Amino acid sequence: MKLLLTGGAGYIGSHTYRLLKAQGHTVKVYDNLSNGHAEAVETDDLIVGSIQHTGTLKTLLETYKPDVVIHFAAFIEVGVSVKKPFEFFANNTEGTLALTKAMLDCGVNKLIFSSTAAVYGYPETTPIRETAKKSPVNPYGTSKLMVEELLESLSQWAGLKYTAIRYFNAAGASEDASIGEAHNPETHLIPLILKTATGERKSISIFGTDFPTPDGTAIRDYIHVDDLARAHMLAADYLADGGKSDVFNCGYSEGYSVREVIEAAKKVTGKDFPVEETERRDGDPAILIADSSKIKQTLGWQPVHNDLEYIIKTAYKWEQNRKY
């Protein structure tokens, strides 16, 4: 297959790029490098540009004619979205509108979209099924839910075929530590803990110890980035085989509290480090755990690395040998 990955120089995109190339697919990455890293992909496969620049995008789509576009490009920091909502709607929502318009104008009609557990807001039940109420609590989640609705409408009225994958908490790095998570600034729990273990940071803060959970700290469903990458490969096969447009959760259906993640990191790294307890962060639900039965049944996806210590081990090796 020929695939185009928007945002493919970012964290999840670069792991998916690697996997698709290893499977023998032809892959191009379209990324404006606002948060991505040219080093994460082969130079010949990288086209630098924004999804908001339809001229460049159309030239690429017309000449390359990908079978499937995997759309990772977005702004991702929840905290920034609260302060700069317009930037999130412009990049994430309008950007996707521009991308889908350019695709359909050029006769490219298959899209895999990076959605998020953030569309559920504060979920009423756990584990969360795709049919649960969608009620985002920040502009980031709203920008993604708006895209899901846009895609659904385009699939009904404009011939788009899509899958939206709602990721839970992506974590870990490639086994050989050649690529990994490199957000700037980093706000995600596991890399921040590991930067504390390496001494790059002085301490790790637990955001809230009064959640209605067994140890009072928030619970998340951490999924290894390579398992997430495989979900995209299967979704591409599914669309290429004529699968209908659909939405899938992707997580391990297993949750760990912040305290449990910190304890696991101390064990894996063999390092003790200072832990502080602070106030809750705005907009953090107590528990986010995926019901992933649908993606298993429909796409045949199965977790391979569902082991918190493996996730932390790969992320730690990456932190110690970071190339970008």
Residue number of the CB closest to ligand GDU reads 218
| DSSP 8-state secondary structure symbol assigned to residue 38 | G
The one-letter code for the residue type at 250 is: C
Residue closer to ligand GDU, measured from CB, 27 or 287:
287
* Residue 284 main-chain phi, psi, to 5 deg: -95, 115
C-beta of residue 208 within 8 angstroms of C-beta of residue 189: no
Give the C-alpha separation, 222 to 252, whole Å: 7
Residue 169 touches ligand GDU, criterion: CB under 6 A: yes
Is 140 assigned a catalytic role?
yes
Work out which of 30, 113, 162, 168 binds ligand GDU, going by CB under 6 A: 168
What is the size of the binding site for ligand GDU (CB under 6 A)?
A: 21
The whole-angstrom separation of Cα 82 and Cα 224 is: 27
The yes or no reply on residue 265 touching ligand GDU (CB under 6 A) is no
Find the shortest distance in angstroms from Cβ 74 to ligand NAD: 3
Choosing from 67, 152, 277, 284, the residue that interacts with ligand GDU (CB under 6 A) is 284
Q: What share of the chain is helix, strand, coil (3-state, %, to 5)?
A: 40, 20, 40
Residue 91 within binding range of ligand NAD, rule CB under 6 A = yes
Burial classification of residue 77, based on how many CB atoms lie within 10 Å of its CB (0-12 exposed, 13-18 middle, 19 or more buried):
middle
Q: Of all helices (H) and strands (E), which one includes residue 116?
A: strand 110-116
Does 68 participate in binding ligand GDU (rule CB under 6 A)? no
**Which single residue brings its beta carbon nearest to ligand NAD?**
10
Q: Is 196 in the site for ligand GDU (CB under 6 A)?
A: no
C-beta separation of 169 from 258 below 8 A: no
The only residue of 74, 151, 189, 250 in contact with ligand GDU, by rule CB under 6 A = 189
Spatial CB neighbours of 157, under 8 Å, sequence gap ≥ 6:
none
Give me the amino acid identity at 114.
S
In the complex, the smallest distance separating the C-beta of residue 13 from ligand NAD, rounded to whole angstroms, is 5
Residues that bind ligand GDU (CB under 6 A): 76, 78, 116-118, 168-169, 187-189, 192, 204-207, 218, 220, 258, 281, 284, 288
Residues that bind ligand NAD (CB under 6 A): 6-7, 9-13, 31-36, 50-52, 72-74, 76, 91, 95, 114, 116, 167, 169-170, 183
